[in-house]
Amino acid sequence: MPRISRKLTFNHSAMTAATMGLAIAAFAPQPALAQTAASPAAMPAPSPAQAATYADLASLAERSDMVVRVEIRRQATVEPERSPGLAPGFVRLYIEARTLALVAGNSAVGESLNYLVDVPPDDRGKAPKLKNRELLLFADAVPGRSGSIQLTGKYAQLAYSPALEERLRPILTALVSQDKPPVVTGISDALAVAGTLSGESETQIFLETEDRSPVSITVLRRPGQRPVWGVSWGEIIDSAARPPRPQTLEWYRLACALPAQLPSSANLARDPDARRLAEADYRFVVDQLGPCERAITEPA
């Protein structure tokens, strides 16, 4: 990592140039990080960092070039007239931060970073004081601007805690794994075939992926037994395949990408009973996966 002076000199004109030069769309309103007093009768709402689900963290991590832990050293409020796209009731801040750790990313970062963020005012109508706060940032580097980063989402600035990092680490590890599951983009085909015994059947559901690698789901039904299903992440359809464990990247790829219903065009069966069976088996898989819950991100 190149050595950079820790002394921060605030230059208003430089801040203005940086403010106008960065893409504003990514800097959507962020939650105030300062805590507000809760009424005695109500529990305080969880912070975005506390509310973030597995899907939220996976989405933020996958879309970002880097995840950085920083300490805020200086902040300045950008004038509203120099803040295009600023939502009503929010203030735009120019932040200078000290890099504490590059949690994930292939690019080296310097000892200091700067970025823009929109936040709601505190109870006094002022910009919240973030100095000395430790934050976790999901961001991209800004081409041609050394030390400048661009947040990648509405809640791409989260209050740091060891608990948050502990939740995030397995996701980051899975995303850089050589055998990470591909991004699922839809359903290619589905076919249900009845067996020789009453109540016996097998349904194959073939998925579409971003890199065209094969992924398939198998649902088996046997007389007097509960249906079983599994996922094959490759060319070979494994009859012993198992469902993905919840809160894993494999689970996320399916639960957060599969449509609620089997598209009629993907159902290859012509027989009405076989079509209904394929639809029922698909619903069974979706129900077993459970909802893709999100609190601070939107589906891609």
**What CATH code is carried by the domain that includes residue 74?**
2.40.50.120
The token duo for 289 is: 């996966």
* pLDDT band at residue 261 using 50, 70 and 90 as cut-offs: very high
Q: What angle do CA 150, 152, 156 make, to 5 degrees?
A: 100
Q: Is the pLDDT of residue 286 over 90?
A: yes
Strand order in the sheet with 215-221: 184-194, 201-209, 215-221, 228-232
Q: Of 231 and 42, which is predicted with more confidence?
A: 231
Residues 170, 197 share a domain: no
Query: How many domains are there within the chain?
Result: 2
In a domain, 202, yes or no: yes
In a domain, 198, yes or no: yes
* pLDDT band at residue 75 using 50, 70 and 90 as cut-offs: very high
Amino acid at 52: A
Q: Taking the C-alpha atoms of 53, 148, 106 and 186 in order, what is their torsion angle to the nearest 10 degrees?
A: 50
DSSP symbol at 137: E
Q: H or E element: which one contains 209?
A: strand 201-209
In a domain, 296, yes or no: no
Average pLDDT over residues 154-160: 94
Nearest-CA neighbor of 205 among 272, 293, 286? 286
The pLDDT value given to residue 31: 52
Residues 284, 220 share a domain: yes
Residues 273, 215 share a domain: yes
Q: Where are the beta strands (DSSP E) in the chain?
A: 66-78, 91-105, 112-119, 134-141, 149-151, 157-159, 184-194, 201-209, 215-221, 228-232
Of the candidates 134, 151, 175, which is a domain's last residue? 175
The token duo for 168 is: 């995030």
The pLDDT value given to residue 13: 42
Average pLDDT over residues 148-172: 96
In a domain, 4, yes or no: no
Residues 21, 135 share a domain: yes
Q: Is the pLDDT of residue 295 over 90?
A: yes
Q: What angle do CA 42, 47, 53 make, to 5 degrees?
A: 115
pLDDT tens digits, one per residue of 8-47? 333 444 444 444 444 344 444 555 444 444 444 556 678 8
Amino acid at 118: D
CA distances from 22 to 156, 185, 214, 283 (A): 16, 31, 39, 44
Residues 54, 171 share a domain: yes
Q: How far apart are alpha carbons 85 and 72 in whole angstroms?
A: 24
pLDDT tens digits, one per residue of 104-114? 998 889 999 99
CB atoms under 10 Å from CB of 224, counted, come to 6
Average pLDDT over residues 154-173: 96
Angle between helices 162-175 and 54-63 (to 10 degrees): 60
Give me the domain span that covers residue 208.
Answer: 184-289
Q: Of 171 and 125, which is predicted with more confidence?
A: 171
Q: Of 156 and 39, which is predicted with more confidence?
A: 156
